[in-house]
Amino acid sequence: MSCSKVIEKRKKRKERVTINVKKFNKGKKPVLSIFRSNKNLRAQIVDIDGKVLVSIASNSKELAKSLEGKSGIEVAQFIGSELAKKAVSKKITEVVFNKGSYRYIGRIKAFCEEARKNGLLF
């Protein structure tokens, strides 16, 4: 598959996901957005007004020691559980998940499953 076809598929997926997030959310719940690069994973919960309520990143200095030597899936699970714990401590339990253009496999799936186990509903 050529690079341009992959880019087109990602654009279409992102548009579809964004439309569904706006359609089903209707401004009631905060949005959990995720960003995945080849090495790192970042997630944040954003309010309707664009204010970041909770955020976490795998490349942050405070998590460096606890993530040392872990694989990508293990890092995603740790990030998911920590984000859910932070959110629950701020009394955020229901969110709308925005995965962007990423497929629901691998690290994204591990992140979601761990966040659900630790109290987030989406």
Q: All domains of the chain, ordered by start, with CATH? A: 3-117 (3.30.420.100)
Measure the CA–CA gap between 46 and 33, rounded to whole angstroms: 8
Q: What is the pLDDT of residues 56-106, one digit of tens each?
A: 999 999 999 999 999 999 999 999 999 999 999 999 999 999 999 999 999
Question: Would you state the structure tokens that stand for residue 44, as one six-digit string?
Answer: 């944040």
Collapsed DSSP state (helix, strand, coil) of residue 115: helix
pTM of the model as a whole: 0.86
Tell me the average pLDDT across 110-119.
97
Least confident of 24-38, 85-99, 100-114: 24-38
- Catalogue the long-range contacts made by 17-21 (C-beta closer than 8 Å, 24 or more residues apart): 17/98, 17/99, 17/100, 17/101, 18/98, 21/96, 21/97, 21/98
Question: How confident is the model at residue 6, as a pLDDT?
Answer: 87
